[in-house]
Amino acid sequence: MNINITSACPGAVSGHAFLYKGECMLSINTWAFDPTLTFAQRVSAASTAGFKAVEINFEEGHEEIPLLTWDTPSSTLHEMQKTLEDHGCVASGVCTELFWHYSLASSDPVERQKSRDLTLKMVEYAAALHAPSIVVIPGILCSPRELGTTIRQQSSMDVWTRAVDEVQCLAEQAKKMGVVLGIENVHFNSFLVSPLELRSFITTVNHPFVKAHLDVGNANIAGAAHDWIDVLGGNICAVHVKDTIQWQSNLDTFRPLGCGNVDWDAVKASLTRIRYDGFLTVEQSFNRKLPSGAFLRSLFETASKLLSGE
């Protein structure tokens, strides 16, 4: 979920090289970059800031410089992969905001088909970019108007049933491509809003290519992020790193990294306890008040400090 955060966090940490227990790799979502930059420029900036992995966004195509769209050609995917390699980087995953508009659990069969097409296109791109997983929102019960244009009137059980059926079918296609479907806890979809619900959903789907993509900031909104980690355990395939204010259940909850009240020490301890060894992806929108390079470096240094094994 791409949330605009424009205020700078005071007291930024500096001079700390990231290595979480020697196993995890710090990644950056492409929403954090100046939208006028090309993919090559974004990867170069990420590498310069210290990141070695990039989570790439799938977009509708009307952005200033879209990265992945419905009709990205294979030649462009090849160029993107080469760009990553040239900078010593990898693709950590493929993400999108479009699930807010095209829900896999919609009561509208046309919308469901659009969401299936979206999921499979993301899987295709992830495989081409050697990314291990994609981020999936499996269903929406209801959501703030800022995050979607559709007013949904459907029961929790209907959303659950359709979401399970759709994800089970899509998982077989994802398996053929070697890409995991990472089910994200997004909170504002009013679906799978506790760790027990998300674990139950994954257990019900019962497919090795369906895991949890844990968003630490979203988990903190109405609970404890470390509790989500403990409950989901080995079901976690990827982690989004961002900050929020607990119990502030509106879009104002989002804060610059390090300026919310996520218990990062507890998060770090739980990740260590479950022996998590995947990507930790910083997800934050570009801050137009700071020079691009300085903003990216501050994100790298802050995440390094919060998640360092030291």
The pLDDT tens digits of the residues spanning 181-222 come to: 999 999 888 999 999 999 999 999 999 999 999 999 999 998
CB atoms within 10 A of CB 130: 13
* Predicted local distance difference test score (pLDDT) of residue 291: 77
C-alpha distance from residue 254 to each of 137, 216, 264 (Å): 19, 11, 15
* Predicted local distance difference test score (pLDDT) of residue 4: 40
* Predicted local distance difference test score (pLDDT) of residue 64: 75
Q: Residue 14 above 80 pLDDT?
A: no
Which range, of 12-21, 139-148, 156-165, 300-309, averages the lowest pLDDT?
Answer: 12-21
Distance in Å from the first CA to the final CA of the chain: 30
Q: At what angle do helices 39-49 and 74-86 cross, to 10 degrees?
A: 20
* Predicted local distance difference test score (pLDDT) of residue 263: 97
15/298: higher pLDDT: 298
- Average pLDDT over all residues of the chain: 89
Q: Residue 6 above 80 pLDDT?
A: no
Q: Residue 3 above 70 pLDDT?
A: no
Q: pLDDT tens digits for 23-47?
A: 579 999 999 999 999 999 999 999 9
- Collect all residues with Cβ–Cβ distance below 8 Å to 61 and sequence separation of at least 6: 69, 70, 71
Determine contact, residues 127/177, Cβ cutoff 8 Å. Answer: yes
* Predicted local distance difference test score (pLDDT) of residue 164: 98
The greatest distance separating any two alpha carbons of the chain, rounded to the nearest whole angstrom, comes to: 52
- Tell me the percentage of the chain whose pLDDT exceeds 70: 88
* Predicted local distance difference test score (pLDDT) of residue 247: 85
Q: Residue 233 above 80 pLDDT?
A: yes
Length of the chain: 310
Q: Residue 266 above 60 pLDDT?
A: yes
pTM above 0.85, yes or no: yes
Domains, the chain = 25-307 (3.20.20.150)
Region 168-180 average pLDDT: 98
